[in-house]
Amino acid sequence: MQGMTTAPAGPDRPAPGADSDAAGRRVAPRRAELARMIDHTLLRPEATGEEIVNLCADAAKLGVGTVCVAPTHVFLAAASARQAGKDADPSFAVASVVGFPHGTHLTVIKAEEARRAVADGATEIDMVVDIANIMDENWRAIETEITEVRLSVPPHVILKVILETALLPDESIAAACRAAEDGGAEFVKTSTGFSPAGGASLRAVRAMVAAVGGRLGVKASGGIRTAEQALAFVDAGATRLGLSATKDILADVPA
């Protein structure tokens, strides 16, 4: 299992969560700090190359840590990150999705998707597990597919595991988090944003935080549209946020 760090966000490391004050209470992040926790996301199937270029231009201006795009857009996003960066360092990391959005791809296909995304420039992979295995409480199968994807990419690549938590009770969320940890993931993530059941919830994030105990990062994603919601998820323990309304949200966070 590969643990998360507390270094600033970047292509090879998770983003930090909110700081705490002397009494141990969480302190709401300021705008720049929150921006580094954001995966600025565009996963609509009809998204054009021009929209991806604009997404990346906004990412550089806003100072986000990562953009998250479909596998077909990784090469373009990675090129945009390099162009926006300085001294040959990308301005932001590039994440891509695997087994998206339903998680029903065969494990060998997910592993190959991950390999190809990394070859095209992704340094983070957000994989959807086979949700049916969670519903069946087949934790060994979940761990196995996560392990296969983890082994398909280099160790520096960050692996996030999407659980579609809106479908799950807290006990299943906790068990799935343990399987993700045992499989070598660096993050667990709430949602694809495409499930009719819904997206992120504070209940799910709290259950995930309790299950991983700071050993893994927790990404809240799906339906977060306001600064108030974003900060509430950080307060609940999320260390990453998957957002598409990034610009509007950051505009409402104090600098």
Quote the CA–CA distance of 102 and 86 in Å, as a whole number. 37
Would you call 219 a catalytic residue per the annotation? Answer: yes
Asked if 99 contacts 113 with a C-beta cutoff of 8 angstroms, the reply is yes
Catalytic pick among 39, 120, 126, 130: 126
Residue among 213, 226, 41 nearest 124 (CA): 41
126 included as an active-site residue = yes
H or E, element range at 60: helix 49-62
* C-beta neighbour count of 54 within 10 angstroms: 13
Going from the C-alpha of 70 to that of each of 4, 50, 94, 112, the distances in angstroms are 24, 14, 10, 14
Three-state SS across 71-138? HHHHHHHHHHHHHHCECCECCCEEEEEECCCCCCCCHHHHHHHHHHHHHCCCCEEEEECCHHHHHCCC
CB 76 within 8 A of CB 104: no
Number of other CB atoms surrounding residue 30 within 10 Å? 12
Q: Which of 39, 130, 160, 219 is catalytic?
A: 219
Please say if 130 is a catalytic residue: no
Q: Distance (Å, rounded) from C-alpha 154 to C-alpha 135?
A: 30
- Of 110, 120, 160, 189, which residue is the catalytic one? 189
- What is the set of active-site residues? 126, 189, 219
